[in-house]
Amino acid sequence: PGVIFSGIQPTGEPHLGNYLGALRQWKRLQDTAHPKTKLFFCIVDMHAITTPRPPEEMQELRWKMMASLLAVGLDPDRCTIFFQSTVPQHAELQWILSCTASTGYLSRMTQWKSKLNLGENATLDNLGAKGLLKHGLFSYPVLQAADILLYRTTHVPVGEDQRQHLEFTRECVTNFNHTYKTKCLVSPQTLISPTRRVMSLTKPGDKMSKSDLSAKSRILITHSPKEIAARINGATTDSLNTVTYEPEARPGVANLISIMSGFDPQGRSPEQLGEEMQGYKIRELKEAVARVVSDQLAEVRERYAAFESDKDKLRKVSVQGTEKATLQAGETMAAVREAIGFSD
């Protein structure tokens, strides 16, 4: 049976990368996992404050994300859906883990470098002294490890970009269990979604991201068919007016084919679609991609509109989720506290 945990930041409505890389996989797992498998899906609002914003905006983004999770088909009676900040044990375990975690390992992580627009070879140097690197952004993976370990998670479904953080999580388990000669923390496995990485529509070398300054770089799961068509139409391709699937040589075209494959009702691979669309012009490819994305997201879009305006329902889901999550988190923390020598 096992335990499945994953999280998403309330930093904007989910885009196709979040959907294909994470949310759709969560829904599939919900529908196919053993009935005894526990599923935890967390809106990680404490991670989101690494980029501070006005409180009203934060509030709105949190509820929008809750509406999105229900819109993609997650069932609050089957899964535990909750806001991270309502379960204080996440922060407690983060501190405990950070006392055995290695800063050397953290300094090699790529996420804080990419958020600060630094190359992968960047080192800490005097970024902290200059006030450029906040401690929360640097120690983000420790909080992520705490999120996962708090539920004794066995499997974490994520996009390719999270692979490194999951390796770090396992390192946290080894460090803690070794230091306290215990087995109370469980090492989770990474489940990478079939669509590993959706790229930006405007800069196909970068991943599609909620925080990209260019709105045209992404498609949201709430977009209308018209908006979807406009963004796909404006997607960067190259100077050739033919269709081939060559991710290295033609990343823009390959990204469109890969998105199409992610939404293809027949489940054709990007390679197969590339072959089948050989005679297409780029405009025809774009039309075909826009059509399949709009069609496949129609239900999600409708459900989102209904949930977003139903605050009572959203609040109920949150309260129910917090209760269930707190129960499980409490059990793990009792074992962790005992291992450290904090129990009475």
In the complex, the residues that contact ligand AQP under the rule CB under 6 A are 7-9, 11, 17-18, 21-22, 158-159, 161-162, 197-198, 207-211
Q: Which is nearer to ligand AQP, 90 or 210 (CB)?
A: 210
Give 43 or 339: the residue with its C-beta nearer to ligand AQP: 43
Q: Which residue has the tokens 């009572």?
A: 312
Nearer to ligand AQP, 19 or 245 (CB): 19
Minimal distance, residue 297 CB to ligand AQP, in Å: 16
| Cβ closest to ligand AQP, residue 22 vs residue 39 | 22
CA dist., res. 157 & res. 307, Å (int): 24
CB of 106 to ligand AQP, least distance (A): 17
Q: Between 159 and 175, whose beta carbon lies closer to ligand AQP? A: 159
User: Which is catalytic among the residues 64, 207, 286, 316?
Assistant: 207
- Based on CB atoms, which residue is closest to ligand AQP, 197 or 337? 197
| Catalytic-residue membership of 210 | yes
Q: Is 64 a catalytic residue?
A: no
Position closest to ligand AQP via CB:
21
CB nearer to ligand AQP: pick between 158 and 314: 158
Which of the residues 115, 203, 313, 324 is marked catalytic?
A: 115
The size of the chain, in residues, is: 344
Minimal distance in Å, beta carbon 197 to ligand AQP?
A: 5
Q: How far apart are CA 40 and CA 37, in angstroms?
A: 10
DSSP string, 270-312: HHHHHHHTTT--HHHHHHHHHHHHHHHHHHHHHHHHHHHT-HH
| 81 SS3 class | strand
115 is catalytic: yes
Question: What is the nearest approach in angstroms of ligand AQP to the Cβ of residue 207?
Answer: 4
* Min separation Cβ 45 and ligand AQP, Å: 11
Shortest CB 193 distance to ligand AQP, Å: 7
Q: Are 301 and 293 in contact (CB under 8 A)?
A: no
DSSP string for 114-181: HHTT--TT---TTTTTTT-S-HHHHTHHHHHHHHHHTTT-SEEEE-GGGHHHHHHHHHHHHHHHHHTT
Burial of 296 (0-12, 13-18, 19+ CB in 10 A): middle
Identified catalytic residue from 27, 38, 113, 210: 210
Helix (H) or strand (E) holding 40: strand 38-43
Query: What is the rounded distance in angstroms from the CA atom of residue 203 to the CA atom of residue 211?
Result: 14
Q: Residue 215 Cβ, how far from ligand AQP at the closest point, in Å?
A: 12
Question: How are beta strands 80-83 and 155-158 bridged, if at all?
Answer: unpaired
Classify 341 in phi/psi space as left (phi over 0), alpha (psi -120 to 50) or beta: left
* Spatial contact of 93 and 149, defined as CB atoms under 8 Å apart: yes
Residue 139's closest CA among 179, 92, 97?
Answer: 97
Active site residues: 115, 207, 210
